Each structure stands twice: as C-alpha cells, then as structure tokens.
Structure 1
Amino acid sequence: MNPLFRSPYLCLLFWLLSLALCFGGATFLATAQEGPNMGASYQQQAIAISKELRCPMATNQTLFESQAPIAHELKGQIFSLLEQGYKRDEVLDFMVQRYGEKIRYQPEFKPSTMALWLGPLVLLVAGLGLGLTLIKRKSASPDKATRSV
C-alpha cells in the first residue's frame, strides 16, 4: 500500500480534491459551451444585418455577398457593435449615420423615398390601364367593321 494513503485524513483529502476537480471540470465545460452559443447568436444577427446593407464598393451586392475589403471591415464592425450590446435597429442607424441612406438595400418609406416605393406600383397600374384600353379598342374595331358591311 502507498505510504501516502495510510493516513485516513490524507485519503479523505485526496478524494475531496478528486471530486472537486471532477465537478470543477464539468462546470468549466458547461460555461465554455455557453460562450460559442452566444457568439453564434451574434453571428446570426450580424449575417441578417449584413444582408440588409449595401456594400459601398461593390455594385448591387449586399455586405454579406461582397468580397470587397470594406465589406469585411463593416461585417466585423457590425459583429463588434452587437457584442457591445447594440440592438439591430441601433446598428442599422449607426451605419446610416456613418455612410448615408444609400447603404440600406431597402430604404425607409419617407417623403424623399416615396418615388422609389410607389413608382413601380404607379407604372404597373398605368401599364395595365393602357393594356386594357388597347384591348377594348381592338375588340370594338372589328364589331364596327362587321356592322358596316
């Protein structure tokens, strides 16, 4: 038998230390696993935000799609702002203040952007109206020709 374990006090101390290491390790693993989940949450939010913003360098690409150096920098900045406790709307407002309204892929509905939002609808209604009037005229013309003959 090992001379270290002849004393019951040393044996008890050894078992208590062993238990402390086991439970301490389990606690450490539990907290270590929580960290990446929080980072994954920030990462998902950052990806969602980067899909809503336009890259200043790449034409018609979101920050998420762009491979430009500024896009990588802005994605990192979005992630760090989220880690600092900023909410989604606060991050978007920060980016708009810094880079202007052009950075938004879908600008807000306000008087200065009303043409962007309502223009396609007005053109669609005008096109449908023009098409219907042309169809009515065309269908009315053959009737007049058959009546006069």
Structure 2
Amino acid sequence: MSNSYTSTLMRLLAAFAILLCLSLSAQAASDKIHYTPDQIRDLGFEIAHELRCPMSVNQNLFDSGAPIASELKGQIFLMLDQGESKAEIIDFLVQRYGEKIRYQPSFSAATALLWFGPLLLLFGIIAFAVIWIREQRKHQDIKANTYE
C-alpha cells in the first residue's frame, strides 16, 4: 500500500510541476507590452535617437539615411508592435551589432577607459600644472635669494 501511495503522490507532484511550468510559460508569453500607436511612434523615435547608425559616422539611426538605418528602424518598430520593451530591443541590437551601436556604452572592463579617461586626463593636467607652478616658484625663490 505504501508503494502505491508514493507512486500516486509522485504522479500528482509531476502533474503539478507540469501545470506550473505551463502556467509560467503562458504568463511569460502574455507579458508582452501592448502599446498604443502613439506610444509605438514615440518610443521608436526615442530608441532611434539613442542608437548609432552602423554605416554613418556620428549619426544616430533617426537622422541617418543609410539603408541599414532604415532596416534597423523597421526592426525597432516591428519589435515594438510585437510587444518588446525598450531594453529588450536595445539588448537585441547590441547583441547583433556590438556595444558600438550605443552612444553611451554600458560600463564594463572594456569600456572603463571611456568612462574614466576624461577624468583621469583632467586630474593629470591639474597635477602637471601644480607641479609646474611649484617648480617655477622654487626657481623664482632661488633667483631672488641669490640676488640679495
């Protein structure tokens, strides 16, 4: 009797696990965002302004007239129609074209110099200026002491 009881219990647990998985997958499929046409237009333009065109130098997707920019704008609007979020769309395009498609790259070890380079350069210039001014004052003090 205990063997059939454990067998029945295992079947119930398996059925529960299957139902739980099915409900989670159905919920994930229904988690798509439903945008209005105005929201799609505004969000699509916003994304196109934030991403760099792979073919044009210093132009975003919105301003670029390159064929690839038109294709990518179409991809953005298609994904918005399918209910994808802004983050999902940007992640998809970054996976496809690399981090260079962003105007503001995400912080990582590879982009740390981009984020901190200007600050390091500024501190270096300030340090150089302070040292140079101190040296100039030392030389002036030495000259003033030798003439007295």
What TM-score does the superposition give when structure 2 sets the normalisation length? 0.70
Shift of 1:72: 1.4
The equivalences for 1:118-137 within 5 A come to: 118-137=116-135
Question: RMSD of the TM alignment (CA)?
Answer: 1.5
Shift of 1:143: 2.0
Paired position in structure 2 for 1:50? 48
Q: How many residues align?
A: 113
Identity %: 46
Paired position in structure 1 for 2:57? 59
| In structure 2, C-alpha distance between the alignment counterparts of 1:137 and 1:42, rounded to whole Å | 62
| In structure 2, C-alpha distance between the alignment counterparts of 1:63 and 1:122, rounded to whole Å | 31
| In structure 1, C-alpha distance between the alignment counterparts of 2:98 and 2:119, rounded to whole Å | 26
Paired position in structure 1 for 2:109? 111
Paired position in structure 1 for 2:75? 77
Paired position in structure 1 for 2:84? 86
* Runs of 4+ more than 6 Å apart: none
**Structure 1 unaligned regions, length at least 5:** 1-36
Paired position in structure 2 for 1:142? 140
Q: Which structure has the larger Rg over C-alpha atoms?
A: 1
Q: Which amino acid aligns with 2:113?
A: A
Which digits, 9 at most, give the CA deviation of each residue in 1:63-83, with x for residues without a partner? 122111111121121112112
Q: Which amino acid aligns with 2:62?
A: F
| In structure 1, C-alpha distance between the alignment counterparts of 2:64 and 2:133, rounded to whole Å | 46
- The structure showing larger relative contact order (alpha-carbon pairs under 8 Å, at least 6 residues apart) is 2
